[in-house]
């Protein structure tokens, strides 16, 4: 499935739900959704600190 198909499906769902009332709103929503899906995303990763002791949820029991 392509980004264009996903964006189109979202717009159809929004129209069916009554969230989009005009053709211009549908076109703008399609372009906005397509841009959001096509945007590159930065993935944040957490590097574990090996100097700390590991978490033990049962330590105090």
Give the global pTM. 0.62
CA 15/CA 30 separation, integer angstroms = 11
Q: How many CB atoms lie within 10 A of CB 17?
A: 8
Alpha-carbon dihedral 52, 50, 56, 45, rounded to 10 degrees: 110
Closest CA to 8 of 22, 25, 29, 24: 29
When the pLDDT of each residue in the chain is averaged and rounded to a whole number, the result is 85
Reported as half-sphere exposure (CB side, CA atoms, 13 A), residue 52 has a value of 6
Enter the tokens of residue 38.
């096509």
pLDDT tens digits for range 2-26: 999 999 999 999 999 999 999 999 9
């Amino acid at each position: 499935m392509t980004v264009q198909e996903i964006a189109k499906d979202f717009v159809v769902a929004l129209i069916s739900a009554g969230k989009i009332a005009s053709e211009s709103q549908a076109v703008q929503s399609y372009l906005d959704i397509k841009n959001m899906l096509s945007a590159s995303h930065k993935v944040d990763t957490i590097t574990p600190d090996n100097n700390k002791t590991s978490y033990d949820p049962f330590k105090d029991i």
